[in-house]
């Protein structure tokens, strides 16, 4: 273990390596026990070198974006959590390239500033480019897969470029969920537009997002099983608004949100999640599928 720690400090920098770092500091749910190591990676070449080494010694790792769609275990994560801190964004005509560590919001603003339309719907989504592509994040009848034309990835120590078709985008789905790879960066195709009009579209979206719960959460917890099944409304209709276990609660503002009211544990959130699942299945026959990612050890 000491050898691994020394290696991490050597290639990433001593100040970039944190030992037994609470994951609650790095997830929007604000819960989670310690990661054995958490490393901040500032350079793509360093990331490639690090991943190759970890895979060679078969040491577990997890690449973390903004932690906005992650539920971290109270027991923590016995491996290396890699936080991407490289965030280059570039333009070539109607194409934008963005590093995996770039915030999606920064890409949205960059597109607006360069008069490129097609991303206003993503204003306010708390995600990095890598995390957004991994789960094909979306809102208001749009998703990232619609405009993603190529993605640079690291697979078994080799850098490859995947096309849109190869990424197998679907509702909250990409090929990376079945075929693990580390996303390095992505190319988006947009279209020329008017900056003022794009800004107006963004403000409409941001205004809608302001009506969502502000307490710590991971956004929508469950996927919509079909287009006519609105999870939040169904959960509310079953009397689960405000249902609480410990510090976790079904938000009365939006019943597809589970919020941390201040002192929740991962176990509290899980118990609320399971109760909602069981209740909805009992009354509708539909088993809700979580769209959040579970990090660490779970029973």
Rounded distance between C-alpha atoms, residue 255 and residue 114, angstroms: 37
CA–chain centroid gap for 53, Å, is 25
Dihedral of alpha carbons 111, 113, 115, 121, sign:
positive
Reference 238, options 211, 199, 275; nearest CA is: 275
Rounded distance between C-alpha atoms, residue 76 and residue 296, angstroms: 6
pLDDT digits (tens, 9 = 90+) for 29-53: 999 999 999 999 998 899 999 999 9
235 and 291 in a single domain? The answer is yes
Confidence of residue 80 (pLDDT cuts 50, 70, 90): very high
- Outline where the chain has alpha helix (H): 2-12, 44-56, 104-113, 129-134, 195-209, 231-237, 266-284
Count up the domains in the chain and report the number.
3
Q: Say if residues 33 and 21 touch (Cβ distance below 8 Å).
A: no
Provide the angle, in degrees to the nearest 10, between the axes of the packed helices 2-12 and 44-56.
160
pLDDT score at 263: 94
Domain end (from 84, 109, 131): 84
126 and 62 in a single domain? The answer is no
pLDDT at 1 over 80: no
Hey, which bits of the chain come out as E strands? 17-22, 34-41, 61-64, 70-72, 77-84, 89-92, 95-99, 116-117, 138-139, 142-143, 148-155, 158-163, 182-189, 191-192, 217-220, 244-245, 248-250, 257-260, 293-295
Rounded distance between C-alpha atoms, residue 76 and residue 62, angstroms: 12
Residue of higher predicted confidence among 138 and 190 = 190
pLDDT at 140 over 90: no
Domain that holds residue 71: 2-84
- The residue count for the chain: 299
CATH number of the domain that residue 201 is part of: 3.30.465.10
**291 counts as catalytic:** yes
CATH number of the domain that residue 53 is part of: 3.30.43.10
Rounded distance between C-alpha atoms, residue 9 and residue 20, angstroms: 14
Phi, psi at residue 51, to the nearest 5°? -65, -45
Residue tagged active-site, from 172, 174, 217, 251? 172
CA–chain centroid gap for 161, Å, is 21
Phi, psi at residue 244, to the nearest 5°? -130, 140
pLDDT at 141 over 90: no
Rounded distance between C-alpha atoms, residue 206 and residue 162, angstroms: 32
pLDDT score at 145: 95
237 and 272 in a single domain? The answer is yes
C-alpha to C-alpha distances, 47 to 53, 55, 60, 63, 279, nearest whole angstrom: 10, 12, 15, 10, 43
What is the pTM for the complete model shown? 0.92
Q: Point out which residues pair with 97 in neighbouring strands.
A: 90, 187
pLDDT digits (tens, 9 = 90+) for 250-266: 999 999 999 999 999 99
171 and 74 in a single domain? The answer is no
Domain end (from 183, 209, 235): 209
Domain end (from 209, 229, 251): 209
230 and 263 in a single domain? The answer is yes
Structure tokens at 291: 């769209």
**217 counts as catalytic:** no
**73 counts as catalytic:** no
284 and 182 in a single domain? The answer is no
33 and 66 in a single domain? The answer is yes
Give the mean pLDDT of 123-131.
Answer: 94
């Amino acid at each position: 273990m000491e050898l691994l720690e020394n290696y991490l400090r050597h290639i990433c920098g001593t100040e970039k390596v944190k030992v037994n770092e609470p994951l609650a500091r790095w997830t929007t749910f604000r819960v989670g026990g310690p990661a054995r190591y958490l490393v901040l990676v500032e350079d793509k070449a360093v990331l490639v070198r690090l991943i190759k080494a970890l895979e060679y010694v078969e040491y577990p790792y997890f690449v973390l974006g903004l932690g906005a769609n992650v539920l971290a275990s109270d027991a923590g994560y016995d491996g290396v959590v890699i936080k991407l801190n490289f965030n280059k964004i570039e333009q070539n005509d109607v194409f934008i390239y963005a590093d995996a560590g770039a915030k999606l919001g920064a890409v949205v603003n960059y597109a607006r500033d360069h008069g490129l339309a097609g991303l206003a719907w993503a204003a306010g989504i708390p995600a990095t480019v890598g995390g957004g592509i991994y789960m094909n994040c979306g809102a208001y009848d749009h998703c990232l897969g619609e405009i993603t034309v190529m993605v640079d990835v690291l697979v078994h120590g080799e850098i490859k470029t995947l096309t849109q078709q190869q990424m197998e985008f679907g509702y909250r789905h990409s090929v990376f969920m079945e075929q693990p790879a580390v996303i390095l960066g992505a190319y988006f195709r947009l279209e020329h537009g008017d900056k003022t009009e794009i800004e107006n579209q963004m403000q409409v979206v941001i205004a809608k997002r302001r009506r969502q719960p502000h307490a710590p959460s991971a956004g929508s917890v469950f996927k919509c099983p079909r287009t006519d099944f609105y999870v939040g409304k169904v959960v509310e209709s079953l009397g689960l608004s405000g249902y609480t276990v410990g510090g976790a609660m079904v938000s009365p503002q939006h019943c597809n949100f589970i919020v941390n009211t201040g002192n929740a544990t991962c176990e509290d959130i899980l118990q609320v999640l399971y109760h909602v699942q069981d209740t909805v299945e009992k009354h509708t026959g539909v088993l809700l599928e979580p769209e959040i990612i579970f990090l660490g050890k779970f029973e």
